[in-house]
Chains A and B, each alone.
Chain A
Amino acid sequence: MFKKINISKYLAYLFLIVVCLIWIIPLIFGIATSFRSQTEVVSTGFRLLPVNWVIENYAAVLSDTSTAPILRWIWNSIFISTTHTFLVLVVISVTAYGYSRMKFKGRDVLFFTLLGISFFPNVVNLIPSYKIIDTLGWVNTPWAMIVPGLAGMGNIFLVRQFMKGIPKDLDESARIDGASDFKIYYKIILPMIKPVLIVCALFSFTGSWNDFLWPVIVYTDVEKMPVTAGLLLLQDVYGNYSMIGQLMGSALLAVIPTMLLFFFAQKYFVQSLDLSSGIKG
Chain B
Amino acid sequence: MDGDGLEGSVIIGLEIHCQLNKLNSKLFCGCSTKQQGLEPNTMTCPVCLGLPGALPVINKKAVEYSIMVGLALSCEIAEHTQFYRKNYYYPDLPRGFQITQYDWPIASNGILTVEADGEERTVRIRRVHMEEDPGRLVHQGSIETSKFVLVDYNRSGMPLLEVVTEPDLRSPKEARRFINKLRNILEYLDVFDGSLEGALRVDANVSLRGGARVEIKNISSYKGVERALLFEISRQQNMKRRGVKVTQETRHYDDERNCTITLRTKEQAEEYRYYPEPDLVPLSVKSWEPRLKATLPELPDARRERFKKQYSISDDHAKVITSEIRVANYYECVAGKCEPRLAATWVADYLKGELNYRDRDIKDAFEPEKMIYILEQLKTGIITDKGAVEVMRALLDEGGDPKDIILSRNLAKVETDITKAAVKDVIKENLEAIRDYKDGKPQALNYLVGKVMKKTNGRADPAEVNLLLRELLECT
Partners in one complex: no
Chain B contact residues, CB within 8 Å of chain A: none
Chain A contact residues, CB within 8 Å of chain B: none
